[in-house]
Structure 1
Amino acid sequence: MPPESPPEPTDPDDRSDRGLLEPARAGTEAEATTSDRAWLRALLDAEAGLTRAQARLGLVPPEAADAVSGLARSAEIDPGELAVRARAAGNPVVPLVAELRSRAVPELSRHFHQGATSQDIMDTGAMLVAARTREVILAGLGRVVNALAELAARHRETPMAGRTLGQQAVPTTFGLRAAGWLVGCVHARDRLAGLRLPVQLGGAAGTMAAFGERAVELLPVYAEELGLAEPVLPWHTLRFPVAELGSALAIVTGALGKIATDVVVLAQTEVGEVAEPPGPGRGGSSAMPHKRNPALATMVRATALQVPAYAQILMTAQPAALERPAGEWHAEWQPLRECLRLTGGAAETMAELLEGIEIFPERMRTNLDLLLGVLAEHGEQTGPGSASALVDRALDHVREVSS
């Protein structure tokens, strides 16, 4: 007999994506800042910010700015219904503007979205979501950096075997390994923090013609209203802000994934030099109750494998034609969201891992003694070289760039 058809969802939440297949971001702050409701909030904020900026320049009545700002704060709009209505126009801004206009008096509603195109609002909304999620990611990375700096300093001279190509090589220290993780995360953090996230405003074909003689003056005012950067030009088909953001997020997850990969290896039964923090149910196996799996590191590794693939789509979308893309811009939305929320989840998860990681210097010493015996037989150096000095160098660098 054929399998029964699944029941039709009766609760709107039955259609929502709560991260069942992406546990690294499930329940995290980054999941909340990139949800459908968060994107809808950003689109509403972009519309309200535009009307306020126009009112400041006398391009629309102040009452119109008050009206759209009020609607943006109080409008109860179902993202699911808006998504279905968006199929007619290919983006959610068209039905959103229609909904806002239907809720205001005609003499004011005609000033909503005045001069803008859907992509202006969608791109600006995306930058708002990115800016809000970036703060969450940077907070997580701050915790990671602090934990790594403490580990590097505390284990500055803790000896262990260095490993190359999976084999014991020469001695090093755990402090130097942690310092390497630290420098990678600081570089990734600073790359992400330094990105300019600009508003988008160009009108129908990027000429800002519908905004009148004071059009160019709108750019800095609009940026100020929303706390975003001012663009040099409308960037409807100049997609470097999105591509650079995707690249930076891939670098962040790469730095975190490097740590996660090392933790998985060092936590192996045969190595046993570190362990993830214990917790109820953490690391359990459904088939082998004796195991303590590196669950946090595994989740972070999964994000490091996914985000570069999503970022590749953002790179591929750059050669958009002429003044408006047909598909490239639309293809960015979901991959950008995945990059943001997976990176946020990875940062939060890695912070949890590092703040409670267990280090076993005695096991490191035992494993190192095996290596030292082999090195002595061959007359090779058996010390950790300049590992301690390199840890100091890394810590000095981090203090300098973070001050």
Structure 2
Amino acid sequence: MADAFDWGLLEPAGEAASAVSDDRILRAMVEVERAHLAAWSGLLGVETTSSLDSGLLDRDALLRESRRAGVPIVGLVQALREQGGTLVHQGMTSQDVMDSALMLVSRDALAASRAALVAAGRRFSTLAREHRGTPFAVRTLTQEAETTTLGTVFGGWLDVLSSTLELLDTASFPLQLGGAVGDGDAFARLSGDPDAVVGLRRRLADALGLADPGRAWHTDRSAVLAVARAALSVCAAGGRIGRDLGLLARDEVVTPLHGGGSSAMPHKSNPVDAVLLVANGLRASGPAAVLQATALSYDARPAGEWHAEWQPWRESLRLAVESAGLLAHAAEDLVVQVRRTATDPASSPRGGAAVDSAVARFERAAGEGVR
């Protein structure tokens, strides 16, 4: 195999991207095929002891077949049938496997993102309470406005995280199963059961831990847009807080304990997490725009629109996982340089109610969990 196209050289936070790597997606595809084989065999009353193993697959051969067919599933099915027999993939189409696999990856990536956001929020909650009485001059429209407290700044970050968690918790990850043209007719013909696709979809969804949508959604891409919106909200939250982190570091109010170096100015300690959070927030609009455009699908399955989704769908997840991890690290690495007031912070009325409200809302949002 040739040199890896992308091993993170231009992606400083790329280690987190393993959650959406080609290998992870390949394992998810095999997981879908494995669950289908078990469910389909059970529905047909056929015993199978085959075990589909992604570790036995020839990556070079998969790449060659992917180029030939325009999708990775054709070569994958050929290889898996050598392991599991002719029932592998029977009745399904490529989009069933790809969409379901990407939903599996989306579910896990957003769950990991959520956990990292909660970790960041716990730290910000502590800081908000500690500094609820620490005077701090805030700016509006770039200019110094009024004095509030540093605790309210941290509370504002908590509100951003709470909104993001609430959105994440509405995300649904549906199974895709419709066969060649989305009507499930192949399953009925092959099994002799006119309702075969209904039972099979239910079995598959249960086995994979995905939602059963009760239908195929080959050309209804609202589920993809909803997942992407959840992922991109993580990037927006990280970028929003990252901007504040960078500005506060500039004014030496809140700085990272471990800053990044400079190739030309050794004395510098750059707020690297903040910089990368902003960069990811800015990058997120790219995949969002593509996914919005490709949602204008047509026919039973389109030529190009669906294919154009794969990378931006994956990229939105990648940016979310990276951003959430960066934010969790930034939160733990913060050092507050300003001194708290000598009086008891709890006795200061300024900003106290806002801090309490933000902390309480975050605790409610953090406790829900991704479905």
Fold equivalence (TM over 0.5): yes
Q: Which residue does the alignment assign to 1:324?
A: 301
Q: What is the distance in 2 between the residues matched to 1:402 and 1:272?
A: 30
Residues 89-128 of structure 1 aligned to structure 2 (within 5 Å): 89-104=69-84, 109-128=85-104
Q: What is the distance in 2 between the residues matched to 1:159 and 1:62?
A: 71
2:22 matches 1:15: no
Does the aligned pair in 1 maintain the 2:228–2:288 contact within 8 Å?
yes
Q: Which residue does the alignment assign to 1:227?
A: 209
Q: Which residue does the alignment assign to 1:191?
A: 167
Q: Report the AA paired with residue 231 of structure 2.
A: L
Q: Which residue does the alignment assign to 1:38?
A: 24
User: Which 5+ residue runs of structure 1 have no aligned equivalent?
Assistant: 1-11, 366-383
- SS of residue matched to 1:170: strand
2:255 matches 1:275: yes
Q: Which residue does the alignment assign to 1:237?
A: 219
2:12 matches 1:27: no
1:13 CA displacement: 6.9
Matched residues, percent identical? 37
2:114 matches 1:138: yes
- SS of residue matched to 1:50: helix
1:386 CA displacement: 4.3
User: Which 5+ residue runs of structure 2 have no aligned equivalent?
Assistant: 189-193, 342-347
Tell me how many residue pairs correspond in the alignment: 355
1:341 CA displacement: 1.3
Q: Report the AA paired with residue 284 of structure 2.
A: V
Return the match for 1:62 from 41, 47, 50.
47
Q: Which residue does the alignment assign to 2:288?
A: 311
Go from structure 1 to structure 2 and tell me whether the alpha carbon gap of 1:154 and 1:202 turns closer, same or farther (over 3 Å shift). Answer: same
Q: What is the distance in 2 between the residues matched to 1:156 and 1:40?
A: 48
Q: Which residue does the alignment assign to 2:345?
A: none
Question: Whose Rg is larger?
Answer: 1
CA deviation map 1:164-203 (0-9, x unaligned): 1111100111111111111111211221232110110000
Q: What is the distance in 1 between the residues matched to 2:2 and 2:118?
A: 33
Does the aligned pair in 1 maintain the 2:113–2:234 contact within 8 Å?
no
CA deviation map 1:7-59 (0-9, x unaligned): xxxxx4722411111112x222xx122111111101100111111122332x2
Q: Which residue does the alignment assign to 1:400?
A: 364
TM-score (norm 2): 0.91
Return the match for 1:351 from 328, 334, 350.
328
Does the aligned pair in 1 maintain the 2:61–2:75 contact within 8 Å?
no
Q: Which residue does the alignment assign to 1:369?
A: none
2:59 matches 1:71: no
Q: Report the AA paired with residue 14 of structure 1.
A: D
Does the aligned pair in 2 maintain the 1:267–1:294 contact within 8 Å?
yes
TM-score (norm 1): 0.84
1:148 CA displacement: 1.3
Q: Report the AA paired with residue 274 of structure 1.
A: V
Q: Report the AA paired with residue 242 of structure 1.
A: V
